[in-house]
Structure 1
Amino acid sequence: MAIIHLKLVSFRIGTDHHGFGGGLRCDAPIQDGTPDGVTSCSAPDGGGAVFEIPFKQGVVDGDFVVLNPKKAGQTIASARFSAGRLNGPSEIFSPATGKRMHQLSWEQGVPVGSIERYDEHTGKLRFKADFVAGRMEGEVFSYDSEGRLLQRQQVKNGLAEGLVKQFDPETGKVIKQTQWHEGYPQAPEAASTTNSTTPANDAKLEHCTDAKVAAFHKEKGDEEPVTADMLEEWKSQCLASLIAS
């Protein structure tokens, strides 16, 4: 058993970060000069484990677990690896409530099947989409914290394509619809029901979304990319706030 010390600032699964300040102490089984077995990292103040990283002949292989340093034994993220690649389910849980916030499956490092995100307080579904051959494909749904539909759109090869519909969560009626092509919005179209948006509200929605993008880059750095699903989720959150006001 060899003892090593690491300076670890953050750990990342998908688009979510969990910051850990200070140094971590890691106990790593070493065989023939390479990690082999479960490396367990904990805070130097004697707290419980923060990371459990499975190695097989120097390559991550098995269930990778991130634990809540403030709640002993509480998993806040987990992912399955095979020969160094994500291969199987990955999940993220709220450190505050313990509720699942994110789930996605992988095959040899490529996302497959459904991606789902949940509200950390209500447990309601907030976002749902599907991956095909590593890219988002088909219908994408966004919901408010109570699980009410806010937006529905089509995605092709990871880009918005076709009609994007936004809904009033209280009535379920369409309040705005916009045509998209290869990830770019086309001219807005009037909804079949009364369109409750106005140019002023559209400007507020854009300003709110831009503010969330700016806050993300301020926290993570300008080089950190904003994915399509992150942007759609922020738009949905801003739309819900606009409707509520």
Structure 2
Amino acid sequence: MTPSPRVDPWCRLLAPLLLAASVLCLPGCGKSPLLEYRNAELVNGKFYEAGANEPFSGKLVNVPYRQHLRDYPGASAIIHFLGIAYKINGLDLLNVRSVQAVCDLETDDGIVHGAVICRLPGETAVWLTVGFADGRPDGPLEVFEPQRGQLLMEVPMRDGQPTGELVINDLDSGNQRMVFRFEGGVGSGEELQFDPHTGNRVFMARLVNWRYEGELLRYAPDGKTLILRAQFQQGLQHGPEEHFYPDTGKPSLYLEWQRGFKDGRLRRWDQSGALVEDKIVQYEHTLQDLLHPVPPSTAAETTVPATDTAPELPAEVQRCVDAKVQAFRDERGADEPIRYDFIAEWEQDCRAGR
């Protein structure tokens, strides 16, 4: 019989202690180091633990979103569309609470790299998630309404720029409200908008380098009845603009444009189909013009007599639209351009009493 190997007595005494130590170690083994933001410092674009000589690699928590996670090439576009998402859903938290959001993130050699999860003040539910690679968003960016836990907006990110389809959802119905396409951080491709109640497509246009190009169409909530058709070239309205009554589909307005200027025939019909105005107009394209397709009295025009004239909008509808324009200016500033489709949507909402 082969003799058993001799075991040192010290090994017999230490073995149970070593086993216990290994068991105690297991829960914490393999975890990344954890660092509170208040104990970190940013030096030359890298996070360090305060007083450390080497950049921090691990999990950094309670990082202010506004100070450290909005400095990337596509940030302005994301903030712009996030503002749209909040506005069309009747939310007013964007400018107040999102700037105070705090985030948990992963760093590698001091650079943000990995998942970023942000929460609004006083909330435990997630507000925003996005992946980072080498200090820039790279992966799906998702924004939620924390109190409902619903997805509000999503867009793929690549090297800090939005790319692909940006989708804004309606929180009440769960339907898509808007789809906008990016190519390398630039708005290019099809833009679609949907009625929040029916889910039907009510707006369609194409952009090239942030500018409308070709035909712009708007439909009634049924998704079938055309209420607006316009033409654009390089972001300027060019060609006929046609409006139709949403309940009958009959024409209500025809207007000709030349490279961003109203220049040509203007015709208007009442709901019975009778022509009530027919004139030649030549005047400059301004915001006031967009709100009032009938040119002001100072505009140069030659009128072709018609049976009657009528204002573009009923007085109560016009007051409603003017109030929405003023609210936009109060929020964004007097110099912020108002998109053409915003005005058309406001007019439609005001006609419906919204």
- Alignment TM-score, normalising by the size of structure 1: 0.85
Match of 1:13 among 67, 74, 81: 81
Shift in alpha-carbon separation, 1:196–1:30, aligned structure 2, 3 A: farther
Corresponding residue of 1:226: 338
Match of 2:274 among 173, 178, 194: 194
Shift in alpha-carbon separation, 1:86–1:219, aligned structure 2, 3 A: same
Measure how far apart 1:196 and its partner are.
Answer: 6.2
- Alignment TM-score, normalising by the size of structure 2: 0.61
- Gaps of at least 5 residues in structure 1 are none
Report SS of the residue matched to 2:311: helix
Corresponding residue of 1:181: 258
Shift in alpha-carbon separation, 1:237–1:179, aligned structure 2, 3 A: farther
Match of 1:118 among 191, 194, 197: 194
Match of 2:329 among 213, 217, 239: 217
Identity of aligned residues (%): 27
- For the pair 1:141 / 2:238, whether they are aligned, the reply is no
> In structure 1, how many angstroms separate the alpha carbons of the residues matched to 2:171 and 2:80?
15
Q: Which amino acid aligns with 1:234?
A: W
Q: Which amino acid aligns with 1:99?
A: N
Structure 1 range deviating more: 223-232 or 113-122: 223-232
Shift in alpha-carbon separation, 1:28–1:68, aligned structure 2, 3 A: same
Structure 1 range deviating more: 99-108 or 14-23: 14-23
Match of 2:238 among 161, 183, 194: 161
Shift in alpha-carbon separation, 1:196–1:5, aligned structure 2, 3 A: farther
How many residues are treated as equivalent by the alignment? 239
Give the root-mean-square deviation of aligned CA atoms. Answer: 2.7
Written as runs of structure 1 = structure 2, the 5 A alignment for 1:70-81 is: 70-72=147-149, 74-81=150-157
After superposition, what is the alpha-carbon deviation per residue over 1:36-67, rounded to whole angstroms, capped at 9, x for unaligned? 11210113434210000221010111111101
Q: Which amino acid aligns with 2:345?
A: E
Larger radius of gyration: 2
Q: Which amino acid aligns with 1:25?
A: V
Shift in alpha-carbon separation, 1:69–1:14, aligned structure 2, 3 A: closer
Higher relative contact order structure (alpha carbons within 8 Å, sequence separation ≥ 6): 1
Match of 1:42 among 119, 133, 151: 119
Corresponding residue of 1:84: 160
Name whichever structure is richer in helix by fraction: 2
After superposition, what is the alpha-carbon deviation per residue over 1:200-223, rounded to whole angstroms, capped at 9, x for unaligned? 345746655443221211233334
Shift in alpha-carbon separation, 1:70–1:114, aligned structure 2, 3 A: same
Measure how far apart 1:177 and its partner are.
Answer: 0.5
Shift in alpha-carbon separation, 1:41–1:196, aligned structure 2, 3 A: farther
> In structure 2, how many angstroms separate the alpha carbons of the residues matched to 1:15 and 1:94?
14
> In structure 2, how many angstroms separate the alpha carbons of the residues matched to 1:83 and 1:45?
31
After superposition, what is the alpha-carbon deviation per residue over 1:183-238, rounded to whole angstroms, capped at 9, x for unaligned? 22235522585246843345746655443221211233334321233234334545
Q: Which amino acid aligns with 1:219?
A: E
